Structure 1
Amino acid sequence: MEASTKSPVEAPTIAFLHRVIVASVLAVLTIVGLFGNALVIFSVITTKKLRTVTNMLVVNLAFADILTCFSLAFQIAGLLSQTGRYPIPEFICAIVAGVTATSVCCSVSNLVAIGFVRWYVITRSIRGHQGLNTPRNIAKVVLIIWMESIALMIIPPALGVGTFGYYRYYGLCSLSETNPLAFVNFIFQGAVIITALILTLVFYGLILRHVLQHNKQFRDKFADDKATGSSSAEAQKKNASSSTSQDSSQPMIKAINQKEIEITKNVFIVVCIFMICFVAQGVNSIDTGAGLSTLYGVMIMMANSVVNPIIYGLKHPNFQEAFKSILCRRHRPLERVSN
């Protein structure tokens, strides 16, 4: 990442073919991401049943991802430039780099916050607006996320640690290679991403452990109740009900096991997609050597802004119904979407 002494035209860059490939993928991500995240926001606004406290974070996540997707159009312009310069005034590239950094940080922080809130609600058996799970408190969380994201974008460059601009080697609006301390900022960004990854893994792991323990306790209690009922003095009077209970025990146990499997799958999908999209770029940010892996790592990281509506939208039954209602233009009130 050392600054080149050659003129912009002669400065080395990644092969144009690879930049075209990445630009083409980003173009698709831009269209799909803008549509998907806008659909999530519109669904929450127009569907009464989706106006929940947790969905405040989902909307905030979708808004951050929209900013990321919107900035991709300007990144494509830089990728396709063959002059060694950004084709639009470079101060726009600096703004795009700052907005991208802020929105990506906000998106990552939102994923951590959603994991934390879900852990808090599930492990404490919160029902309704209690404790942290109130609109005012979640609004404070959203405000803190944006303040943190903006601060992490502004403070390092203000201290001279990195400068936003056009990175000629990659053809991206990012931290410019002309600043000798840019690598420090890259390492810092990588540390933030990896820390967020670890926290997300921890919260979803705690959720999974809690659910498995809860289901184990339920099975143990069911077994104890069954043993107690069979040895009680009133066993003869309850032969019919005991027989019914025994007949239904296997389906109940099967249903519990199936629930564990489904929860495990959902958590596994969330964690794996998060890891795929962010861990590569997190490692690349710490290993500051320039190469194709960094360029494609950025592309994969940006893809997270597209898959989030799938993870937090299409996997949710209420969002599925709302999406169908909007896309199919059904003439029934969306407020009737059931839980």
Structure 2
Amino acid sequence: MASASLISEPSFSAYWGGSGGFANQTVVDKVPPEMLYLVDPHWYQFPPMNPLWHGLLGFVIGVLGVISVIGNGMVIYIFSTTKSLRTPSNLLVVNLAFSDFLMMFTMSPPMVINCYYETWVLGPFMCELYALFGSLFGCGSIWTMTMIALDRYNVIVKGLSAKPMTNKTAMLRILFIWAFSVAWTIMPLFGWNRYVPEGNMTACGTDYLTKDWVSRSYILVYSFFVYFLPLGTIIYSYFFILQAVSAHEKQMREQAKKMNVASLRSAEASQTSAECKLAKVALMTISLWFFAWTPYLIINFTGIFETMKISPLLTIWGSLFAKANAVYNPIVYGISHPKYRAALEKKFPSLACASSSGDNTSVASGATTVSDEKSEKSASA
């Protein structure tokens, strides 16, 4: 009893500022009885969260959901209906937007509802489904980004010796992405780990608090194949992309010096400049993705290794940062891809990010003009 008091009272003061009146309540009190078997005993030591946090989280997730559904929906529509954008490389771009679209379409409304009730009210099955969707579309996004990085590596580093990606190759990669993602995310439904309510009780995710190593092993193996392996592949790809672009730029400067001119900014040089911008934009996009999902990784690892006590408030940031990822990509495409911007201005003049007469050396995070040209030549051949 004494130890319980020592746990609950400081936690209460930390969340409620010592205002009193709720010392005997916990964050689990509002959870429906049919959900209690999924709630880890760890959460019973924490008092209810301030309703302001639930309201703020619900509002932010609702806004992010609307922006993501509209933004990614427009990316899918424009890339699919604009002939100049229908290339094998851009199939990966569409797949990424499709994954982000489905993530917020399926996850934003349930979270807004649960934030309103300040607990999970949709039942155990929907809890598992919600967590599965989050894991599935998150895995789909990261492996699509990995395939985009490998495609960029093939085009930019290997150059003319590279074998262009065809529609068949792109579709096979997309099929692999979804088969791989489904295989990993259904495992908890069959006993390797499980999906449970998170500490804030308004979202669900993997169980990182169960102490047996069967459950813990899933977190470790899954994080390797869905976080560290893709991260290593992307870093490898973009390291050599930047190295190749840097070497080419150096050659251009040396050649210009020999010819006693300020610059060799021909069409070829402009293309090289575009590839350099590609690397920067793509690295930014990928960095944002990992910035979004790293909090979840840290929370999961903190749980299985017990490095510190996880509070319900901490779990809010994992949900928020991960779901915000689905908003980034359409914004990056809109400000960086000249063909996308031109199509956006034509189809939705009031939503165009900038005039299509602007910088023609801009580049998308998903595809470059050089790869598009290769794809078109391959298709015609």
Structure 1 stretches lacking a partner, 5+ long: 227-245, 331-337
The count of corresponding residues between Structure 1 and Structure 2 is 301
Q: Residue 272 of structure 1 is aligned with which of 279, 287, 294?
A: 287
Distance 2:254 2:66 in 1: 51
Using structure 2 for the length normalisation, give the TM-score.
0.69
- Map 1:23-42 → 2, pairs under 5 A: 23-42=58-77
- Map 1:149-164 → 2, pairs under 5 A: 149-158=181-190, 160-164=191-195
Question: Which has more radius of gyration?
Answer: 1
- Map 1:1-339 → 2, pairs under 5 A: 8-9=29-30, 11=44, 12=46, 14-70=49-105, 71-82=107-118, 84=119, 86-126=120-160, 131=163, 133-158=165-190, 160-167=191-198, 169-175=200-206, 182-191=215-224, 192-224=226-258, 226=259, 246=260, 249-252=261-264, 262=277, 265-288=280-303, 289-291=309-311, 292-328=313-349
Change (3 A) 1:277 1:119: same
Alpha-carbon deviation of 1:153?
0.4
Query: Could you say which structure has the greater relative contact order, defined with CA pairs below 8 angstroms and 6 or more residues apart?
Result: 1
2:72 touches 2:330 (CA, 8 Å); kept in 1? yes
Q: CA RMSD in A?
A: 3.2
CA-to-aligned-CA distance 1:77-120 (integer Å, 9 cap, x gap): 233333x5x22233122112111110110011111111111111
Partner residue of 1:241?
A: none
Structure 2 stretches lacking a partner, 5+ long: 1-25, 32-43, 304-308, 352-359, 361-368, 370-381
Partner residue of 1:232?
A: none
2:285 touches 2:329 (CA, 8 Å); kept in 1? no
1:14 touches 1:170 (CA, 8 Å); kept in 2? no
Alpha-carbon deviation of 1:161?
2.5
Spell out structure 1 runs of 4+ moving beyond 6 A.
253-261
SS at match of 1:250: coil
CA-to-aligned-CA distance 1:215-273 (integer Å, 9 cap, x gap): 2223334445x3xxxxxxxxxxxxxxxxxxx4xx1143798897687456435523432
1:132 touches 1:138 (CA, 8 Å); kept in 2? no
Bigger CA drift: 172-181 or 313-322? 172-181
2:192 touches 2:218 (CA, 8 Å); kept in 1? yes
SS at match of 1:95: helix
Alpha-carbon deviation of 1:275?
3.4
Identity %: 24
Bigger CA drift: 60-69 or 201-210? 201-210
SS at match of 1:9: coil
CA-to-aligned-CA distance 1:63-88 (integer Å, 9 cap, x gap): 11111111221122233333x5x222
Distance 2:56 2:116 in 1: 10
Distance 1:122 1:264 in 2: 10
Letter in 1 for 2:151: V
